[in-house]
């Protein structure tokens, strides 16, 4: 049986070159942009490698931003984490550099997974993200990476993530087909959330009848993509989360098994069970010095949740809890 990896998502920069009206890191927003400390990433990655040797479980270290591929220290850090420490590397990118041959070569060489953000057909995607030609760059980059992978027999898993909004939802099945044409192997989706940009949310959020439509489309879409070798990720639990959000209903989670399979590290170096709770349960990575410190984290997070439950846990939006990637164990849910 395959050993379940520990996924560590690390937000390394708050800088981005695009202007997406739903995102907290839209380049037009005037605010301080923090970045992670490369030396701390290097030190902590070595600790992750020790943890992996101790537990026998692989670690997937996944860079997040802002736009991580524009953060200068990242390429060297990735080389070291991959070659010297044998960590698996992943990232989520806006794809704005994917057309560059040197970026493709680096991704091909060092990455286990690559997730590109694509939110709609080319014209819609480019307009939404304020970047003419962006969709074509992503297409060309994905095609080139898929061709390399076919040729060499190795290369990153190619995944696309789609933010579902009211206007773009009807195009989702067609978009999935286009992504399959490019060589994308897995497709995930997020529902537009309202925390980052509350001013954009009301007119663009999914409404209950639209989520019902999506649920009806899902089985046929899933099987038509499977016929082409493409996995549509996210099952019943994930669609249930989408439905409750659209209905404006909370989804409290009693026990998310915090810290067992997923850690999130923010740009300030706080490690938490998810991206919604660094301020509640975050542990400064500077305090984590040994593999034993890491082994104690699940228990530490469980105790922290028992002593003082974060507001976020009363309406959990952390997608891995709802088996978005089919890696997380099913959580114990409290009735809404």
Q: Rule CB under 6 A: is residue 49 a binding residue for ligand SF4?
A: no
SS3 for 46-61, per residue? Answer: HHHHHHHHHHCCCEEE
Closer CB to ligand SF4, residue 49 or residue 302?
Answer: 302
Q: In sequence order, what are the beta bridge partners of 190?
A: 163
Q: Rule CB under 6 A: is residue 6 a binding residue for ligand SF4?
A: no
Question: What is d(CA 95, CA 135) in angstroms, rounded to the nearest whole number?
Answer: 8
Question: Residue from 169, 256, 271, 288 that binds ligand SF4 (CB under 6 A)?
Answer: 256
Q: Rule CB under 6 A: is residue 8 a binding residue for ligand SF4?
A: no
Closer CB to ligand SF4, residue 164 or residue 310?
Answer: 310
Closer CB to ligand SF4, residue 111 or residue 322?
Answer: 322
Question: What is d(CA 168, CA 164) in angstroms, rounded to the nearest whole number?
Answer: 6
Question: What is d(CA 172, CA 94) in angstroms, rounded to the nearest whole number?
Answer: 18
Burial 162-176 (b: 16+ CB within 10 A, else e): bbbbeebbebbeebb
Closer CB to ligand SF4, residue 95 or residue 282?
Answer: 282
Q: Provide the 3-class DSSP secondary structure of residue 83.
A: helix
Considering only residues 286 through 325, tell me which ones interact with ligand SF4, judged by CB under 6 A: 310, 312-313, 316, 318, 321
Contact call for residues 82 and 110 (beta carbons, < 8 A): yes
The CB-of-300 to ligand SF4 minimum distance in angstroms stands at: 12
Question: What is d(CA 242, CA 167) in angstroms, rounded to the nearest whole number?
Answer: 16
The CB-of-261 to ligand SF4 minimum distance in angstroms stands at: 11
* Segment interacting with ligand SF4 (CB under 6 A) among 97-105, 112-120, 183-191, 274-282: 274-282
Question: Residue from 259, 273, 278, 282 that binds ligand SF4 (CB under 6 A)?
Answer: 273
Question: What is d(CA 253, CA 19) in angstroms, rounded to the nearest whole number?
Answer: 33
Closer CB to ligand SF4, residue 77 or residue 313?
Answer: 313
Residues forming contacts to ligand SF4 in the complex (CB under 6 A) are 253, 256, 258, 273-274, 276-277, 310, 312-313, 316, 318, 321
């Amino acid at each position: 049986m395959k050993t379940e990896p520990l996924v560590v998502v690390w937000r390394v920069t708050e800088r981005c070159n695009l202007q997406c009206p739903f995102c907290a890191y839209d380049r037009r927003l005037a605010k301080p942009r923090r970045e992670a400390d490369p030396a701390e990433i290097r030190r902590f990655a070595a600790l992750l490698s020790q943890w992996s040797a101790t537990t026998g479980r692989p670690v997937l270290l996944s860079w997040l931003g802002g736009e991580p591929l524009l953060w200068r220290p990242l390429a060297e850090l990735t080389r070291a984490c991959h070659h010297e420490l044998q960590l698996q590397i992943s990232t989520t990118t806006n794809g704005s550099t994917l057309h560059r041959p040197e970026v493709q070569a680096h991704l091909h060489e060092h990455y286990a997974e690559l997730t590109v953000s694509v939110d709609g057909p080319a014209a819609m995607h480019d307009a939404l993200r304020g970047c003419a030609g962006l969709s074509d760059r992503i297409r060309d980059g994905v095609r080139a990476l898929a061709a390399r992978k076919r040729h060499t027999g190795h290369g990153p898993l190619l995944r696309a993530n789609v933010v579902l909004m009211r206007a773009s939802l009807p195009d989702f099945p067609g978009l999935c087909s286009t992504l399959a044409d490019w060589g994308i192997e897995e497709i995930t989706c997020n529902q537009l959330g309202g925390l980052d940009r509350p001013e954009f949310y009301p007119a663009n959020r999914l409404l209950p009848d639209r989520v019902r439509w999506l649920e009806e489309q899902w089985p046929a879409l899933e099987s038509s993509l499977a016929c082409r070798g493409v996995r549509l990720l996210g099952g019943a639990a994930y669609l249930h989360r989408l439905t409750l959000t659209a209905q404006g209903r909370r989804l409290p989670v009693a026990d998310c098994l915090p810290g067992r399979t997923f850690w999130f590290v923010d740009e300030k170096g706080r490690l938490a069970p998810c991206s919604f709770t660094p301020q509640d349960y975050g542990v400064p990575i500077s305090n984590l010095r040994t593999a034993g410190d890491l082994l104690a984290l699940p228990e530490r997070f469980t105790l922290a949740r028992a002593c003082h439950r974060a507001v976020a846990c009363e309406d959990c939006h952390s997608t891995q809890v709802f088996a978005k990637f089919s890696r997380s164990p099913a959580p114990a849910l409290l009735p809404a």
